[in-house]
Amino acid sequence: MYRALKDLGHEVDLYAAYLDKRAWQIITNSMGSVSEPIVLGEPPINRLFRSAQILRALWPLGT
């Protein structure tokens, strides 16, 4: 998809929640013109939900 949009002349930015640099190097080995994605990080609400799930799982252990 990235290459097709670039070939059509579109400016393309890639975004990711996280990036495994080694995996990215392996995936894009033959495509030298592909830049690394912009890492946005995990949305704060996801961290809140994960924390709530952990607390719910631990709640019966504390009683």
The pLDDT score that the predictor gives to residue 52 is: 86
The pLDDT score that the predictor gives to residue 1 is: 65
The pLDDT score that the predictor gives to residue 63 is: 55
- The tally of CA atoms less than 13 A away on the side-chain side of residue 46 is 4
Tell me the pLDDT band of 54, cut-offs 50, 70 and 90: confident
The pLDDT score that the predictor gives to residue 46 is: 78
Question: What phi-psi label fits residue 41: left (phi over 0), alpha (psi between -120 and 50 degrees) or beta?
Answer: left
- 9-50 residue pLDDT tens: 777 677 777 788 888 888 888 676 777 888 887 777 877 888
